[in-house]
Amino acid sequence: MSSATASSFDTWVKPTWCPGCGDFGILAAVKHALTDLAIAPHETLVVSGIGCGSKLPDYMHVNGFQTLHGRPLAVATGAKLANHQLTVVVVDGDGDAYGIGGNHFIHTVRRNTDVTHLVENNQIYALTKGQYSPTTPQGRVTTTSPEGVIERAVNPVALALTMGATFVARAFAGEPTHLAGVIKQAVSHRGYALIDVLQPCVVFNRINTYQWYSERIYKLDDAGHDPQDRAAAERAAVEWDDRIPIGVIYREDGVPTYEEQLPALRDGPLVGRSLTERAAFDGLKNQFM
C-alpha cells in the first residue's frame, strides 16, 4: 500500500495554461484519483501528445513522456507491453486523439490495451490559435473556418462504443470531484478506458463555456443509468445539446486485455527479465543486424 498523498504528485513547475482553463480541473482530478487509489508516483506513467493539455505530465511528479502529435497511445501501448504492472494514463486533446491520432485511437480501443485515456475535449485546436478540430460542430466559425466548418463532427463516445471499447465515460472539467471518481473507475478497469472530458477553452471557444455546460449536463448515476446496459449506453452516447449525460456510459468487465493474451508476457514484465534472457536477445538481434 502506497503512502502517497495528493502533494506527492506536485512539482515546482507552474502551469502555463490560461487563467480559467479547464485543464486545471483535470490536473487536480488526476492527482486526487491516483491518491485515492493509493498508486504512488513511481508506479505511474503519464503519456501525452502535443497541445495545451498535453503539458500535463510537466506538472505532475510521475514518470512522464510527451510524444509526437497524435502518437501517445502508440507509446503508451509500448510502455504497457514492457511493464504491464505500470499504471499508464494517456492525456491529450481532441485534435491529438481523434484527428491526428485517430487511427491509433481506433486500434487501441479494439485491442483493449489496459490504459486509461483522458481526452481534453474543448472542440478546438487551442495551442494553434483556434483551428477547428474533429469535434468542432458543423457550421462553427473558427480561425480556419471563417464561413463555417463543413464536416460533421466526430462523436468519440459513439465511435469508441462501435469499436468495442470496454469502458466509455464522459466527464466535465468544471466538476473535478465527479471527474476524479470517474478516473478512479477507469484506472481500476482492466482494459482500455476512454474518458471524454468536456473542457472549456476560455480563449478560442466562447460558446461551450462553463455556464453552457452547467445548464445542460446531468449525472448518469442520478438518472439510474446501468452502464452494463448496451442499448442504454448507445442512447446516452448520442444525447447532446439540451441535455448532456456525464459519468460512466458503458462498462464491460472480463474481456481479456491485449497484453494478457501475449505469450511473451506470461512470465512477467519484460523489464523484469534476467540479463541471461537479455543476452540471448542480443545474440538473436546480432544475427539480423
Cβ atoms of 82 and 271 within 8 Å: the answer is yes
Q: What pLDDT, on a 0 to 100 scale, did the predictor assign at position 7?
A: 84
Distance of CA 54 to the CA centre of its chain: 11
What is residue 225's predicted lDDT score, i.e. its pLDDT?
A: 98
- Which segments in the chain show pLDDT lower than 70? 1-3, 275, 277
The per-residue pLDDT for range 140-174, each reduced to its tens digit, is: 999 999 999 999 999 999 999 999 999 999 999 99
Q: What is the pLDDT of residue 280?
A: 77
Rounded to 5°, the CA angle 32-47-279 comes to: 120
Cα–Cα dist 142/205, whole Å: 9
Q: Which of 77, 58, 164, 175 is nearest to 117 (CA)?
A: 77
The predicted model scores a pTM of 0.93
Give the H/E segment covering residue 117.
strand 116-121
pLDDT tens, residue by residue, 94-120 = 999 999 999 999 999 999 999 999 999
> Would you say 219 and 142 are in contact if contact means Cβ atoms under 8 Å apart?
no
Question: Counting every residue, how long is the chain?
Answer: 289
Number of Cβ within a 10 Å radius of residue 251:
19
> What's CA 11's distance to the chain center, in Å?
21
| Average predicted confidence (pLDDT) for the chain | 93
| Closest-CA residue to 90 (of 58, 113, 119) | 119
Question: Residues near 268 by Cβ (< 8 Å), separated by ≥ 6?
Answer: none
